[in-house]
Amino acid sequence: MFRTRLISGIVLVAVALVVLITGGPLLAAVLLAISIIGQNELYRALGIEDSGFSPLAGVGYLGCFLYYVIVISGAAAYNMTVLIAILIALMAVYVFTYPRYRTEQVTGAFFGVIYVAVMLSCIYELRIMEHGAYLVWLIFISSWGCDTCAYCVGMLIGKHKMSPKLSPKKSVEGAVGGVIGAAAIGAIYAAAISPQMEGGMHTVLSFALICAVGALISMVGDLAASAIKRNHGIKDYGKLIPGHGGILDRFDSVIFIAPAIYYLTQAIAGYFW
């Protein structure tokens, strides 16, 4: 199992390197595919979609596609318009297929668009920013760096459970180690690329801060995904990635970190680089 997980992890990192370095249409297409697969996993967990065709899920997928079209076209002013249109379309399906769906399934379908598609699209938004080729890596440093450091520290000195009922293996010590570790990796990364950012020490400090905040938020994303699985009695969202589960099992923290880091970098960019 460890070997399978390790090989899958290496492949994921290699794919991420190619896609994020290339950016542009390739990144947008990959994020769209990941978002639709992630929505499918969530819809199955919530009982919105099963083996047959679900009109409600179909509208959710269409909404995901339309949202990415808006994002790629740069027409950010219409983001809210698209989301409102998606909600109206979902409610129309609810009304005209009544009583096939319950209210919580309709809200779950809309939640899937926001939770997966909208939040993941922030990776593309960050990549196309000025210095985006460097900034986009902060998402993955925060997520994967925090996971690795938290695991190591937790294994070594973890004693106090962070969330005993939801995730009994996670410790407070591990969480602190994850935040500090992510901040340290962010600072090292900033020092390595500072000539390109032209921010010097300011870049090091800002990257450390961004990664620390991202690490904190990543834990919420991880636990939130676990809570949804526990509520619906499933172990993994899918089996797409050997040793890791589904898209949502692997990208649970990235989904939360992407918008946080996107807006945080926008807020502080003018001050630090």
- pLDDT-derived band of residue 196, with 50, 70 and 90 as boundaries? confident
Model confidence over 42-59: pLDDT tens digits?
A: 999 999 998 778 999 999
Residue with tokens 């070997």: 3
Q: Residue 179: enclosing H or E segment and its boundaries?
A: helix 172-197
| Dist. CA 3–CA 164, nearest whole Å | 28
pLDDT at residue 157 is higher than 60: yes
Query: Of 13-17, 116-120, 150-154, 199-203, which range is least confident?
Result: 199-203
Model confidence over 216-249: pLDDT tens digits?
A: 999 999 999 989 998 988 988 988 887 778 999 9
Pick from 87, 85, 100: nearest CA to 54: 100
Q: Give percent of the chain with pLDDT exceeding 70.
A: 96
Check residue 116 and report its DSSP letter. I
CB count in 10 Å sphere of residue 181: 24
More reliable by pLDDT, 36 or 160: 36
| Dist. CA 30–CA 267, nearest whole Å | 27
H helix runs in 46-171, sequence order: 55-73, 79-96, 103-112, 119-127, 132-135, 137-140, 146-157
Q: What is the pLDDT of residue 219?
A: 92
Q: What is the pLDDT of residue 2?
A: 58
> CA dist 105 to 22, 69, 144, 193, 236, Å?
37, 25, 32, 46, 20
Q: What is the pLDDT of residue 244?
A: 75
Model confidence over 68-116: pLDDT tens digits?
A: 999 999 888 899 999 999 999 999 999 999 999 999 999 999 999 999 9
| Dist. CA 55–CA 92, nearest whole Å | 10
Check residue 97 and report its DSSP letter. T
CB of 164 closer than 8 Å to CB of 230: no
Pick from 108, 96, 142, 153: nearest CA to 256: 142
Q: What is the pLDDT of residue 199?
A: 59
Q: What is the pLDDT of residue 6?
A: 67
- pLDDT-derived band of residue 200, with 50, 70 and 90 as boundaries? low
Q: Residue 167: enclosing H or E segment and its boundaries?
A: strand 167-171
| Dist. CA 98–CA 119, nearest whole Å | 30
Q: What is the pLDDT of residue 175?
A: 92
